[in-house]
Structure 1
C-alpha cells in the first residue's frame, strides 16, 4: 500500500496542526507512516506574497515527522521557481515534489522545470481551487448536518486529503478527507 496525503492549512493556527494532521491520518488509516505528504501553501493575508517565512514553521514540522519516520517524503504545492529554490536551499529535508495548478499554467514554466530536473524534484499537476474549504462553507455544511449546533462558533483548522493505493496494481483502495475544527475561544 502507498498512502499519500495533501494537507491544507485552513485557519490561522500553529505549525502543530501539521503533526496533528499526520497523527490523525495514521490513526484513522491504521498505518505507522505516510509515504508522501504535500503541504498546500498556508493561508496569507490578501495582498501579501507567499514567502519562505510563511512556509518555514510548517516545513520544520514536516522535517521532524520525516526524521521520526512518520512520513517518508514531503512536497510542496504552488511554489514558483524562486520560492522552491529558497525552500530547497534552506531545508534540511528537501522537497521531493511540487504541485503546479493546472489553472495557473498550460505549460510548466521552463525555469521551474529546469530547477526541478537539476535537483530531482518531481513536478506534478493539480486542479484544487485556491480555497478548498472556506470558514463560511464549513459552517454551512456543519449547520446542515447538525441542525442543533451553533455552527458560527466553529472554525476549520486543517483539512487533509488522502489516498491509499495498492502499489502493485495502481488501484485506489480508498480516498477521503480528514478535518479538524475547533470552537472559537476554546
Structure 2
C-alpha cells in the first residue's frame, strides 16, 4: 500500500512540476517524435493531416506531463522544450547520404523571421547540417483576399538566404497557379524546384501549369493539406485536453513543421514527425 501511495505522490509531483513549467513559460517548442511507430497515438489512421497533428500534440504533452521534473536549481525557463527523447529519430552521420530529409513549413503568423528558427530546429532535432528539400506554406489570407507575389516575397527571401548558407539544398512552393508560379520564378534568385498542388481543389493538373513546370524543370507534387492546417482554437483545445485545468487561451500557434526522412534506394519513409512552436501572448 505504501508503494502505491508513493507512486501516486510521485505522479502528482510530476504533474505539478509540468504545470508550473508550462504556466511560467512564454514559448512552447514541441516535437512529436517519429510517427512511423504510432503506438503512442490514439488514432492509428487519422482522417486528415490536421487530425493527425492534433492527436500528436495531445499524445506528446500527455507523455511529457508524466515524465517532466522541475530543474534541480528550482529555476523555471521561459522556453519549454516538450519532447520525448526515446521517440526522437536523429540521423546517424554514416547513414546521412542514404537518406533524403524533406520538410514542409506551415506559417501560422505573418512574421517571416521565424523561418530560420524553424528550420534550424529541424536540423538540430534530426542531427543534420542541411535539409534536402523545404516547401513553404504561407499563412492563409483573409477571405476575399487574393495571394500575390508581394505576399510570397518576404518568406522566399528568407529561404534564399538559407540556400546560400547551405542550410537547404532546394526550396519549393505550395498551391501556386501557373501565373503566380511564373512571377515567382522570374523574380527569384533561387528558383523554385517544386510546387505542390492540392488534389481536393484540382483533380487533374492544369495544362498551363504542367507545361510551365516542364519547361522550367519544376516538379509538380500533390498534397492533401487543408488551407489552415490547425486553427488557434484547435491548438488550444489539444493543449487543454492534456493540461486539464491550465489556462491556455493566451497561447498562439506560430508555425508547424512536418518532416519526412526517406530511404533513397527504397523510396520508403523511415521517419516522419512534427515540430510545433507556440508563444504566449503578451499581457
Smaller-chain TM-score range? over 0.9
Is 1:88 equivalent to 2:88 in the alignment? no
Q: Which of 165, 170, 176 is equivalent to 1:73? A: 170
Is 1:53 equivalent to 2:53 in the alignment? no
- C-alpha distance in 2 between matches for 1:84 and 1:184: 35
Q: Which of 267, 272, 281 is equivalent to 1:175? A: 272
1:52–1:87 CA contact under 8 A, matched in 2: yes
- C-alpha distance in 2 between matches for 1:129 and 1:15: 21
- C-alpha distance in 2 between matches for 1:74 and 1:63: 8
Is 1:10 equivalent to 2:10 in the alignment? no
1:98 aligned residue? 195
Q: Which of 210, 218, 225 is equivalent to 1:121? A: 218
- C-alpha distance in 1 between matches for 2:234 and 2:182: 35
Shift of 1:11: 2.2
Which has more radius of gyration?
2
- C-alpha distance in 1 between matches for 2:247 and 2:265: 46
User: What is the TM-score with the length of structure 1 in the denominator?
Assistant: 0.96
RMSD value over aligned CA atoms?
A: 1.0
2:122 aligned residue? 25
Relative to structure 2, which stretch is displaced further, 176-185 or 34-43? 34-43
Shift of 1:42: 2.5
Provide, for residues 40-87 of structure 1, a one-character-per-residue CA deviation record: whole Å limited to 9, x for no partner: 132222211011111111000000000000000000000000110010
Count of residues paired in the alignment: 185
More helix by percentage: 2
User: What is the TM-score with the length of structure 2 in the denominator?
Assistant: 0.64
1:153–1:183 CA contact under 8 A, matched in 2: yes
| Structure 1 unaligned residues grouped into runs of 5+ | none
More strand by percentage: 1
1:41 aligned residue? 138
- C-alpha distance in 2 between matches for 1:133 and 1:78: 17
